[in-house]
Each structure stands twice: as C-alpha cells, then as structure tokens.
Amino acid sequence: MAKGELSFEEFRRMVSLSMENMCRDLYLGNRASIKIKKEPVAVGNLMKILDAALTLSNKKGFSAMSLRELSSQSGLSMGALYTYFSSKEDLLHMIQRESAVVFDVLTAQLEGVRDPQARLRRAIRTHLFLSEILRPWFYFSYMEAKNLSKQEQKKAIEAELLTEKLFVDIVREGQDVGVFRDCDAELVAAVTKAMLQDWYLKRWKYARRKTTVERYAEFVTDVVEGYLGCGRRGEKKS
C-alpha cells in the first residue's frame, strides 16, 4: 500500500457515494421536475428506477431499453415513472448530470497535495476508486454520451478534456520542478486516462482475473511513473 494513501475501503466509507446518497442528491437537484413531494418516497423509488435504468442500459443500450421494460424491472408503473421524469430523454440527462458530480470529488481529493508525484498517484487512485464505486454510472456516461443533445455533448467533451487537463497540469508541473523527464504531457495524460477508463469499460476482464482496484491502481501508477522517469524499479510478483 502506498504511503499515506487511503485504502479502497477507507475511501469508499469516506466519500459515501451509495446509491441512496446519489439518488437523494439527484432528487434534491431535480425537485423542480420531479412531481413527488415526500423525500423518502421519492428517493426510494428513484433508487429502484436508476438501478433498473443503469442495469438495462448498460446491458442493451439506453435507446434499446423501452420504458415498459424499465417499468417492470423497477416495479413501478408507466404512470409512476412519469412522475419522476418528464421524458425518456430527461431521464438520460438526469443520469448524465448526476454522473458529473464525481469530478468535484476528484478535484477535492487533490486539494492540498502539492508534490507532483504524490498528486499523480492520488489522481490515479481517486479516479479508479470512484469508477469502482460508481461503475454503472461511469459506464453509462461513457457509452451513452452519443445520445445527448448537441449542447450537452459539448459539455461532456469539455468535462473529458478538463479531467485530462488535470493530468496534463500535474505532468507539466513535475517537469518544471524537474522530477519528471521531458516528454509530451498531453499524450501522457491521454493514455493515462485510457488506462483508467479501461477499468470500468472492461471490468469483467479484471473481475475474472481477480485483479483488485488497488493492484490496478499501483500498476497504472508504475507504468506512468516509469515513463516519466521517476518510478521506483523493484520487485513485482508476476
């Protein structure tokens, strides 16, 4: 385990991004369009709806999921569904917007960490831990981005570039300080993100091999640090 870093379970407890909390946050953020007044009822049903929606969407795609399927899978009637969103597209955007909250968590976790090498490790770990906790949300957000409206698509692209910029800045600062060697920071950030995304896009592969998220985090960190010329080379079990 890395020095001074939280383990995955510690991290999970700390951020408390359970389905219930996500749905409560989603409810409070969409009180205008959700017709249900009583919070406990609304949150409970939103959990059923989002659970079903993420399951069905991630299995067959959002547009291939019919609202009748969503109705029977969630246990709510068609009419009830429409008290929680005003259209199928509205549901899509609700999920997409709620998925974006993680960026705040990511930046928050980096606050106060100034050393570039520590920041890099922290950013990789946090990103992986978040995607592990909210895998269905991440997967949905990635795969269904094409269904968004043009303007929401722009926002999604900007968010993607913003996350990447976060890594670019870390690499650049490390280069300025002299701890990272000179290289194309944008490419480093790009492939780092690619490796992070693989964790939730191809989750079944790592699950089958019983690779833990902590192990994967360490590995990705090693690869990136290795390229940046600051990794501690040492023993690894094959």
Partner DNA sequence: CTAAATATAACGAACGTTCGTTTTTTGCTT
Partner DNA sequence: AAGCAAAAAACGAACGTTCGTTATATTTAG
Beta-carbon-side half-sphere exposure of residue 61 (alpha carbons within 13 Å) = 5
Choice between 56 and 185, CB closer to DNA: 56
- Hunting for tokens 């490419």 — which residue is that? 187
> How far is 31 from 214, CA to CA, in rounded Å?
37
Q: What are phi and psi of 40, to 5 degrees?
A: -60, -40
- State the binding partner of 184 from its own copies, DNA, none, CB within 5 to 8 A by kind: its own copies
- Single residue of 55, 82, 97, 179 touching DNA by CB under 7 A: 82
Binding region for its own copies (CB under 8 A) out of 8-16, 27-35, 79-87, 195-203? 195-203
Q: Supply 190's token pair.
A: 């790009």
Contact pick of 118, 187, 200, 221 for its own copies (by CB under 8 A)? 187
d(CA 183, CA 190): 13
Which residue in this structure is represented by tokens 């068609």? Answer: 78
Cα–Cα distances in angstroms (integers) from residue 57 to residues 62, 98, 146, 213, in the given order: 4, 16, 13, 24
Tell me how far apart the alpha carbons of residues 127 and 145 are, in angstroms, rounded to a whole number.
Answer: 19
Any contact of residue 195 with its own copies (CB under 8 A)?
yes
**C-alpha to C-alpha distance for 228 and 188, rounded to whole angstroms:** 9
Size of the site for DNA (CB under 7 A): 24
Instruction: Choose which of 60, 78, 149, 212 interacts with its own copies (CB under 8 A).
Output: 60
Q: Measure the CA dihedral 66/71/74/77, to 10°.
A: 160
Select 79 or 178, whichever has its Cβ closest to DNA: 79
Q: Which is nearer to its own copies, 3 or 209 (CB)?
A: 209
Q: Distance between CA 221 and CA 216 in Å, rounded?
A: 8
- C-beta of 32 vs 207, nearer to its own copies: 207
Among 13, 35, 181, 215, indicate the residue that binds DNA (CB under 7 A).
35
19, two tokens: 């389905």
| Token pair 């964790």: residue | 199
The option from its own copies, DNA, none interacting with 61 (CB < 5 to 8 A, set by class) reads its own copies
- By C-beta, is 7 or 86 nearer to DNA? 86
Strand, coil or helix: 42: helix
Q: Does 88 bind DNA (CB under 7 A)?
A: yes
Q: In angstroms, what is the minimal distance from the CB of 92 to DNA?
A: 10
Q: By the criterion CB under 7 A, which residues form the site for DNA?
A: 35-38, 41-42, 45, 65-69, 75-80, 82-83, 86-89
Q: By the criterion CB under 8 A, which residues form the site for its own copies?
A: 59-61, 63-64, 143, 146-147, 160-161, 164, 175, 181-187, 190-191, 193-195, 197-198, 202, 205-206, 209, 211, 216, 219-220, 222-223, 226-227, 229, 233, 235-238
